[in-house]
Chain A
């Protein structure tokens, strides 16, 4: 008898995702989720500063936070964990993060097509309505080539 695979759950997945590697090193934490969004938190840390003169987080770790929240928002929306590759990620900084503040990243996946997924979100410290940065990104599904499922599509779309 076949049991259906469990629906992707960002809270559960975080227990595994943030144990190792880059996101584990950053100390990312799960904070909240909705049907098509995920929110993660990047704790403040002295050795992640980006400026010699002010105790504010560098923007590099904020990109890591938003990239990870983007991927998880896509899996949360799709309901399944299919590996995705970031094609393009844009960050518009609105203001510096507050001193010694951790940063939250909330990203929603607003559209998934056969090959691509589109996300947008904000990074903020205290107030969701006063963000540090807005982000927009485009991801591509990897591992499954939709042309293999539909021979009529063969040759369509760019690939390496």
Chain B
């Protein structure tokens, strides 16, 4: 069996990794600043931030499903990303929370921050179908 919290190829090639830390029982993901995530000079591209948020959302859901002894196929329904502050040229972190874990649908909120955990740079809400 593969490691349950294996990140997908996209996450790995963008440099998104698990920090090994947890926040509210959910895994914290991080990505360093570098050319691969850069949008306007010295800032994160919104798409890279969204990629980090999305992967943290899936990691949280997988964690909750493992705890529940479930292993469904996950299909994205939608994601809404809110950008709160510019992502500066330093590492970003993200963690997801399960707002509701239903039988067929999961609703997840995700938060990303940089050097100050209390100042989020972006949040996301995701609905994921489980089949």
Q: Which residues of A lie under 8 Å from residue B6 when comparing CB positions?
A: 52
Is A4 engaged at the interface, CB distance under 8 Å to the other chain? no
Bound together, the chains give a CA A55 to CA B80 distance in angstroms of 25
Interface residues on A, range: 35 or more
A22, B77: Cβ atoms closer than 8 Å: no
Q: Using Cβ atoms and an 8 Å threshold, which residues of chain A touch B77?
A: 92-93
List residues of A whose CB falls within 8 A of some B CB: 20-26, 46-53, 57-61, 63-65, 67-68, 83, 85-93, 96, 160
Closest chain A CB from B31 CB (angstroms): 11
On chain A, the residues within 8 Å of B81 by CB distance are 63, 86, 88-90
Question: Smallest Cβ distance from B78 to chain A, in angstroms?
Answer: 5
A46 & B9 in contact (Cβ 8 Å cutoff): yes
CB-contact partner of A63 in B12, B14, B35, B51, under 8 A: B51
Is A64 touching B40 in the complex (CB atoms < 8 A)?
A: no
Q: Given known contacts A83-B40, A91-B80, what 15 new A-B pairs fall within 8 Å (CB)?
A: A21-B39, A23-B47, A25-B35, A47-B9, A49-B8, A57-B10, A59-B54, A60-B47, A64-B51, A67-B46, A87-B82, A89-B83, A90-B79, A92-B77, A96-B75
- Contact status A63-B2, CB under 8 Å: no
A60 B14 Cβ-Cβ under 8 A: yes
Contact of A85 among B35, B55, B86 (CB under 8 A): B86
